[in-house]
Amino acid sequence: MSSYKLTYFNIKGARGDSIRMAFHYGGIPFTDERLTSEEFGKIKETLPFGQVPILTVDGKKVISQEVAILRYIGRLVGLYPDDREEAVSVDIPLSFVDDLYSSVLAFFAPEHPGKEVVTKMMAEQQIPKSLSYLNKYLANKASTFSAGDNLTVADLRIYSALALFKSGALQGLSPDIVDKYPSIAKLYQAIEGHQKLAGWKRAQVQ
């Protein structure tokens, strides 16, 4: 059996959590290496694209980029389909999460004179707008999930972004914003209560 090591920050509700959830869903053991900012700085130039998360397989193969890792693990655990048509139905909401994450970059930028104005605009305009689009997309689905009747990596990635919104870490963004969108809230709760993710909930950042 292959060995897996996930390297990311110790952050709740971010790009590493979706991958951790996929491992727990499939019951696949993995090493969960959580870096401090200082530790990341020391290894940054050795990483593909200078970024985390990375997944190391069998101590030698390195896979970078959250979505690539999710597809890789998703295929192993039944959360990402082999069929081309089914796969594209997952890829659509999976890719939309990039819009959600792009909205929060300003919150983590170094302090500068215009930062407060930008984050206020994101909290009051851009994030609600993106969530409205997502809520409408989910409302038009026959299932609670974003790409069919069953959980997929797209749902895990959506959940991770929503968890960041709910964390209180984004100054000026109300932690209850997710609850204002019924279809999004329904998806969030379905993942929160998913039996196969109980192990992840016990292991997540408190």
Residues 65 and 108 in one domain: no
Residue 99 sits in a domain whose CATH number is 1.20.1050.10
Residue 206's pLDDT band, with cuts at 50, 70 and 90, is: very low
CATH number at residue 8: 3.40.30.10
Give the residue numbers spanning the domain of 69. Answer: 4-78+196-203
Q: How many domains does the chain have?
A: 2
Stated as kind and residue range, the H or E segment containing 37 is helix 37-43
Q: Are residues 94 and 186 in the same domain?
A: yes
Bridge partner residues of 57 (DSSP): 4, 61
89, 48: one domain: no
99 and 56, same domain (yes or no): no
- 94 and 74 both lie in a single domain: no
Q: Examine the domain organization and report whether 43 and 122 are in the same domain.
A: no
- 91-150, pLDDT tens digit by residue? 999 999 999 999 999 998 889 999 999 999 999 999 999 999 999 999 999 999 999 999
Tokens linked to 146: 């974003």
Cα-Cα-Cα-Cα torsion 36, 153, 160, 20, nearest 10 degrees, comes to: -40
Q: Are residues 141 and 182 in the same domain?
A: yes
183 shares a domain with 93: yes
Pair 188, 133 in one domain: yes
Longest dimension (CA), the chain: 52
In the chain the beta strands, taken as DSSP E runs, fall at 4-9, 31-35, 54-57, 61-64
Query: In this predicted model, what pLDDT tens digit does every residue of 44-78 receive, in sequence order?
Result: 999 999 999 999 999 999 999 999 999 999 999 99
Q: Same domain, yes or no, for 17 and 91?
A: no
| Angstrom distance (rounded) from CA 21 to CA 157 | 9
Same domain, 190 and 88: yes
Instruction: Write down the pLDDT at residue 12.
Output: 79
Supply the angle between the helices 66-77 and 84-102 in degrees, to the nearest 10: 140
Q: What is the per-residue pLDDT across 163-196, written as a single tens digit (0 to 9) for each? A: 999 999 898 999 999 999 999 999 999 999 999 9
- The answer on 160 and 67 residing in a single domain is no
Using pLDDT thresholds of 50, 70 and 90, give the confidence band for residue 27: very high
Q: Which amino acid is at 1?
A: M
